[in-house]
A and B are shown apart, each in its own frame.
Chain A
Amino acid sequence: MRRAMNWLLPHPALTVLLAVVWTLLQNEVSAGMIVFGIILGMIIPIMTARWWPDRPKGLRLGKMLAYVCLVMWDIVVANIQVAWIVLTKRNADMRPNWVVIPLDLRSPEAITILAGTITLTPGTVSADLSDEGKSLLVHALDADDPDAVRNDIKQRYERRIKEIFE
């Protein structure tokens, strides 16, 4: 039974995601389209299985939702701050700065999410990864104190992402 499930649904989360995206694409909820979405959600993971051999096992969905809400809120707040900086601060007074973030995360998926979050929250853009993937290079638009930005990102985002992937 377990093996049959594994063969049929190698990636249950991806199946659900594909079914939901398909239904959203149809722009209306009807039984036929949901069934078709589920069929697609079963076929595509089976066909693409060989491209994700080391996928992370066991995401914590609750923590993930909480994280998404936190990031949304941060995006809105930080957008207002950055808009204010852009409109009121002279270029000469701005302190653009590089910030180096030593990473505790190791899995590529987790690092991608962290880098994406950093870029989406205004004021910081993730620019590069070190050649062995142990630090992340971030550009800050206006940071007097790069260490404070680094600690903020590590405490606020990296710690939470680590909890999601554990």
Chain B
Amino acid sequence: MTLSVLATYAVVFFLAVGVIFTLVAGIGLLKLNTGMSRLHAPTKAGTVGIGAFLVASMIHSWTFSDGSIHELLILAFLFVTAPVSANFMARVNIYRQACEPLPQPDQDDLWSTQNIPEADRYIAVDVR
């Protein structure tokens, strides 16, 4: 009996944490003013926000039913895919020059997004 009460409190706690961080991510998306800064908000929801939701889901399933370990997989796939999509959005920003001017790379000549092959230049001009 007490165990299920404790588990309920733990579920509520983790749900609250998840809600707070997801809300902050949403606020950040609205409040921040440049494309690159906005990118920071959703990566936050993806990690701690959804992580907390998944922990709550796991605690709930282990105390009130058979238990589930799918959540670990969801978290793992999320951690692998979130940086990739963030990186894509960052590169689109760089490509369309919707960001502050880039610094010079330390050891090489160009950042790879700026390094457009000769044959593709005509498409690049269209976007800008």
Contact = CB atoms under 8 A, between A and B. Distances in A.
Interface of A: 21, 24-25, 27-28, 75-76, 79, 82-83, 86-87, 91, 94, 96, 98, 100, 102, 115-116, 118-120, 122-123, 125-135, 137, 139, 141
Given A24-B69, A128-B111, A139-B90, A102 B106 contact: yes
Contact of B28 (A21, A27, A86, A132): A86
A42 to B, nearest CB: 21
Contacts of A134: 105-108
Nearest to B84: A116
A102 B111 CA distance: 12
B99 to A, nearest CB: 8
B110 interface: yes
A76 B48 CA distance: 6
B16 interface: no
A28 B66 CA distance: 9
Interface string B68-83: 1110110000011011
A94 B37 contact: yes
B90 A127 contact: yes
Nearest to B111: A128
B94 interface: yes
19 contacts: A24-B69, A87-B24, A96-B36, A96-B37, A96-B100, A98-B100, A100-B105, A102-B106, A118-B83, A119-B87, A120-B43, A120-B79, A125-B39, A130-B109, A131-B108, A134-B106, A134-B107, A139-B36, A141-B40
Contact of B112 (A94, A120, A130, A139): A130
Contacts of A91: 31-33
Nearest to B49: A79
Contact of A98 (B24, B39, B102, B110): B102
Contacts of B80: 116
A131 B105 CA distance: 9
Contact of B86 (A25, A76, A119, A130): A119
